[in-house]
Homo-oligomer: A and B are copies of this chain.
Amino acid sequence: MIKIGIIGAGRIGKVHGEGVTYGVKNAVVTAIADPYLKEEITEWATGLGIKACYKDYRNILEDPEIDAVMICSSTDTHADISIEAIRAGKHVFCEKPISQDLNKIKEVMEELKKSNVKFQVGFNRRFDHNFQAVKNAVEVGKVGDIHLIRITARDPQAPPIEYVKSSGGMFLDMTIHDFDMACFLSGSQVTEVYAAGAALVNPDIAGVGDIDTAVITMKMANGALAVIDNSRQAVYGYDQRAEVFGSKGQIAVGNDALSTAILSTADGVTGEKPLYFFLERYMQSFSREVSEFTDAIEKDAEVPVDIEAGLQPILIAVAAKKSLDENRPVKISEIIF
């Protein structure tokens, strides 16, 4: 059994605590650390059989029993803790994004070169049943050569302005998953991006220099064109769709719902709304991504989302922001890394 320490016991830290406990066969969480350690957290940890609860994550890094850490702390600490964990010889599962600061990512990469630990980035949607079905169809050639990729990602509700302010902007906070999906589904890389955006949901978002609605066009290295549309607020729920279209056909995935029920009345024929948000929609993917991480540790194999893969969506997000600001297509090669 691989012993895992979770650093950061906020929402995503808890998701992983439960995901590992109930869904990862070859791993167990033995410790958590959170600077704001409250009774509520220790109770939650005890309920899952997690033995140690710390305020300081260094307790985890210093524990020789622990094989791997999952970094679920605030984004601005991801890189530094990653470096410390690598130095401590722990395998690292780092939540996305690795950092909003490209230099910090470089430092992590440098540190990794000197080490033998596994490093995986938390792009969980790659492990989702729907997107896996698209990926599988593409890989076995069902759509032929890829011509077009369409991704729709709309949140059910815009976040509070305070969150928006420190989010790094919609592209780094939200679209980053879609940038990753464009790379994952195409098996290729983005070379150029053009972003159109506006604050249509909430003008206050414009007030803090961000947008809530966007259409982003990408040119891929394999010649395909890709397009993402985003909104911070789809009142009907979390809208998560994708299509890959090619020379032999198209594979498309729609939304999941709580049931297949269809109600037919004098008012119309009505089905369920999409599952509300990412915890409902992507829950299974969280334990699947960690299962692949712990399998990679166990078998000394490659992790499915390495630091290079984790870097790409950040570069695209930075280029997309530049495109939005300058209203012109921006090449990824323009972003200095």
Contacts and interface: CB of A to CB of B under 8 A. Distances in A.
Interface stretch (A92-100, A145-153, A159-167): A145-153
A58 interface: no
A35 to B, nearest CB: 28
A200 B145 contact: yes
Chain A interface residue bracket vs B: 35 or more
A74 interface: no
6 contacts: A133-B260, A147-B231, A194-B329, A227-B227, A235-B249, A235-B265
A229 B148 CA distance: 8
Interface stretch (A82-90, A114-122, A270-278, A299-307): A270-278
Interface string A137-157: 100001101011010101000
Interface stretch (A3-11, A176-184, A211-219, A310-318): A211-219
B227 A130 contact: no
B251 A263 contact: yes
Contacts of A201: 147, 247
Contacts of A233: 247
Interface of A: 22-23, 129-130, 132-134, 137, 142-143, 145, 147-148, 150, 152, 154, 194, 196-198, 200-201, 213-215, 217, 219, 223-227, 229, 231, 233-237, 239, 245, 247-256, 258-274, 327-329
A208 to B, nearest CB: 19
Copy count, this protein chain: 4
B269 A271 contact: yes
Given A248-B265, A261-B137, A328-B328, A213 B196 contact: no
Given A225-B213, A235-B248, A258-B129, A271 B273 contact: no
A219 B248 contact: no
Contacts of A270: 267-271
A146 to B, nearest CB: 9
A247 B224 CA distance: 31
A20 B269 CA distance: 34
Nearest to A257: B269
B273 A272 contact: no
A217 B268 CA distance: 29
Nearest to A22: B22
A2 to B, nearest CB: 15
Contacts of A223: 198, 200
Contacts of A253: 259-262
Contacts of A250: 234, 236, 239, 263-265
Contacts of A130: 259-261
Given A225-B214, A272-B268, A251 B245 contact: no
A273 B268 CA distance: 5
Nearest to A245: B231
Given A214-B225, A328-B328, A328-B329, A262 B251 contact: yes
Given A269-B270, A328-B329, A133 B225 contact: no
Given A133-B260, A252-B262, 6 more contacts: A22-B23, A196-B217, A234-B250, A235-B249, A236-B249, A269-B274
